[in-house]
């Protein structure tokens, strides 16, 4: 800036001159890999997958192999191209550390129909979360616009000017220092449940990004438990459920 190396904290004012270079775009075109997937349901239009914690959904910086997309391509057949070359089939995503149900599209028509269900909230997604602390109320609604964290670009936060977000929660069971919650998404913002619960003062156990550090949790204790949607071709309502994986159940069984 103004001929000198810039600092992220610099403020830009009238008359300042900023010089920059745009790096050459890196186009990721994932290839097929033989990675096993837990397929809950599959037909010519959609597939519902029980994603394990630790698996990244699609290629991204630092994750160019071993993703769910690579595994989808390894299964063969067609996948929707609406999301671009790096995201065949991907309609929505789950964080790397989150386990549970995710639906993918075999063709573009199914992709658009499922995306519309997400947009108009006819698709419902219910999560189970173990949070730190004893949540006082039996349930409630968490609202707060979510956007990029003002200082830490890899994190999200409730910020003025963010996108509207609402999460409904209900207490399933309590321990002295932990609570098991059921969370329903009314919107689908990045890290929504994690951000809203942290703002409530009860971060997801094991979520070190949002204050849920817990020595016994190797990853955020968040699981996409139930999924309800209308089949994009037939319109028939479909319901799916995936029980929490062993690490989630073990953590809750031992929680104090």
Active site residues: 95
Secondary structure percentages of the chain, helix, strand, coil, to 5: 15, 30, 55
Alpha helices in 103-201 (DSSP H): 108-120, 192-200
**Pairing relation of β-strands 222-230 and 99-105?**
parallel
Q: Give the integer Cα–Cα distance in Å for 8 and 92.
A: 32
Asked if 58 and 87 count as a contact pair (C-beta separation under 8 A), the reply is yes
27, two tokens: 């186009």
Asked if 210 and 198 count as a contact pair (C-beta separation under 8 A), the reply is yes
Asked if 220 and 205 count as a contact pair (C-beta separation under 8 A), the reply is yes
């Amino acid at each position: 800036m103004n001929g000198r190396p810039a600092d992220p904290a610099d403020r830009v004012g009238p008359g300042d001159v900023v010089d920059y270079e745009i790096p050459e775009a890196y186009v990721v075109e994932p290839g097929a890999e033989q990675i096993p997937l837990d397929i809950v349901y599959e037909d010519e239009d959609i597939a519902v997958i029980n994603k394990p914690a630790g698996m990244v959904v699609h290629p991204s910086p630092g994750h160019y192999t071993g993703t769910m997309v690579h595994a989808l391509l390894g299964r063969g057949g067609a996948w929707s191209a609406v999301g671009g070359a790096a995201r065949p089939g991907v309609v929505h995503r789950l964080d790397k550390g989150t386990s549970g149900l995710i639906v993918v599209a075999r063709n573009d028509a199914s992709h658009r129909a499922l995306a519309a269900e997400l947009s108009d909230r006819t698709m419902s997604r219910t999560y189970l979360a173990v949070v730190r602390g004893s949540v006082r109320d039996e349930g409630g609604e968490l609202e707060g616009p979510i956007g990029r964290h003002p200082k830490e670009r890899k994190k999200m936060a409730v910020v003025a000017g963010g996108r509207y977000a609402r999460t409904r929660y209900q207490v399933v069971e309590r321990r002295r220092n932990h609570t098991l919650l059921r969370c329903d998404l009314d919107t689908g913002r990045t890290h929504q449940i994690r951000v809203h619960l942290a703002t409530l003062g009860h971060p997801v156990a094991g979520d070190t990004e949002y204050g849920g550090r817990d020595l016994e949790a190797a990853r955020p204790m968040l699981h996409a438990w139930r999924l309800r949607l209308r089949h994009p071709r037939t319109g028939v309502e479909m319901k799916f459920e995936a029980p929490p994986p062993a690490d989630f159940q073990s953590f809750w069984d031992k929680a104090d």
